[in-house]
Amino acid sequence: MKDEKYYVSYNTVHNLVKGLAQKLIDSSFNPDVIVAIGSGGFIPARIMKTFINRPIYAVGISYYGVDKKHKNYPTKIQWIDEVQEQIRGKKVLLIDEVDDTRATLAYCVGELLKYKPEEIAVLVLQNKLKEKDVNFPPEIKRYYPAQEIGDLWIKYPWDADDIEEHTKLEKAMLERQASRSK
Which residues in this chain contact ligand G4P in the complex, by CB under 6 A? 38-40, 62-63, 96-105, 153-154, 156, 159
- Phi/psi at 76 (5° precision): -80, 130
156, interface contact from Mg ion, ligand G4P, none, CB < 5-8 Å by kind: ligand G4P
Nearer to ligand G4P, 33 or 160 (CB): 160
Report in angstroms how near the CB of residue 27 gets to ligand G4P at its nearest: 22
Residues with Cβ within 8 Å of residue 10, at least 6 apart in sequence? 157, 163, 167
Of residues 100, 133, 159, 161, which has the active-site annotation?
A: 100
117 binds Mg ion (CB under 5 A): no
Smallest gap from Cβ 166 to Mg ion, in A, equals: 19
* 73-82 CB contacts, 8 Å cutoff, 24+ apart: 73/103, 73/107, 74/103, 74/104, 74/107, 74/108, 76/111, 78/38, 79/111, 80/35
Catalytic residue flag (residue 151): no
Smaller CB distance to ligand G4P: residue 87 or 154? 154
40 belongs to the binding site for Mg ion (CB under 5 A): yes
Residues of this chain that bind Mg ion (CB under 5 A): 40
**Residues tagged active-site:** 100
